[in-house]
Amino acid sequence: MRTAVSLFTGCGGSDAGLSTCGFEVLMANDVLAYAKDVYEANMPETDYRLGDIRKIKSFPKADLLVGCYPCQGFSQAGVRDPSRSINYLYREFDRALRQIKPKAFIVENVAGMRRADSIHLYENQLRRFRLAGYKVKAKVLSAIDYGVPQERMRLFFVGIRSDLGETYEFPEPTHVQLSSSDDTRPFVPTLKDAIGHLPEWPTGEYDEQPFHWYYLSRNRRRGWHEVSKTIVANSRHVPLHPISPVLTRLHTDSWKFSSDAPARRLSYREAAVIQGFSDRMKFPDTCGIALRYRVVGNAVPPPLFAAVARTIPDIW
């Protein structure tokens, strides 16, 4: 059995992807208690250590190390402040990498890390990982290209230990959208394919706050035969469910509903399914609705992570 250690794990998007590739996750870690609750409700076999990674002094040996460290300073939807201390947690991943010395590692983060104001942090990570003894590749991937019905761009670093003599190549796209009907690859699932079987009005599972001016500053709706807008961690800003009326543009940064028909945001369960989790995913009743959205929106889509892990050469 191939083994892995998972850091900055959240509710387990990376690890759900690894499980489909035949990995046993020996240890996971995060600071958010509800993320641990959700993880353990769905993947109870893993040793999930709740708390600040800086207080973890030793890690189990494993074949693969993965990490999705926080991205608030780089995210298009976040504060976008590269000077924030949270942006330097990659140093803790580097510490674990040097201690464990796995055969390979995978890091996932937002594509915004490559913007001009944070490119120095991107380059410093590449330098650190290479100095740790790894051949490293980095690339921004679109989740749509790997069968995830969502507009989501993510940056990946993948490294293979230099002494193994192998080089990583990122996976070719496995899916196409409906507009590319001349391609032989399978179509990306639409919202109808992904969530059309779920209840239209799942009481208690979606944020019912009013649609304030900021929410209506952009078109947050996609139709049944499209893919979703990006699933975000803030429940108030989650995209509209396709059952909602079409949004009409009034002028720059101002939209309105085309009718008075009922409208709602996607539920946290629908958001999870769009991310690539099972529609039977368990959400323990240990918190309010906002945290359920948060752990889902912060997760990496499992199918995307699996595609990256699956193309690591046979070094195990």
- Positions annotated as catalytic residues are 71
DSSP H helices in 69-204: 90-100, 119-131, 191-195
Q: Identify the CA nearest to 212 among candidates 265, 266, 151, 267.
A: 265
Distances (CA, A) of 293 to 96, 131, 143, 179, 298: 29, 38, 19, 31, 8
Other C-beta atoms closer than 10 Å to the C-beta of 5 total 27
Name the residue among 120, 119, 178 with its Cα closest to residue 149.
178
Residues whose CB is less than 8 angstroms from the CB of residue 261 and which lie 6 or more positions away in sequence, other chains included: 244, 245
Phi-psi region of 101 (alpha: psi -120 to 50; beta: other; left: phi over 0): left
CA angle 227, 242, 80 (to 5 degrees): 60
Half-sphere exposure of 260 (CA within 13 A, CB side): 0
Alpha-carbon dihedral 113, 117, 123, 128, rounded to 10 degrees: -80
Number of Cβ within 10 Å of residue 183's Cβ equals 12
Contact (CB, 8 A) for 108 and 170: no
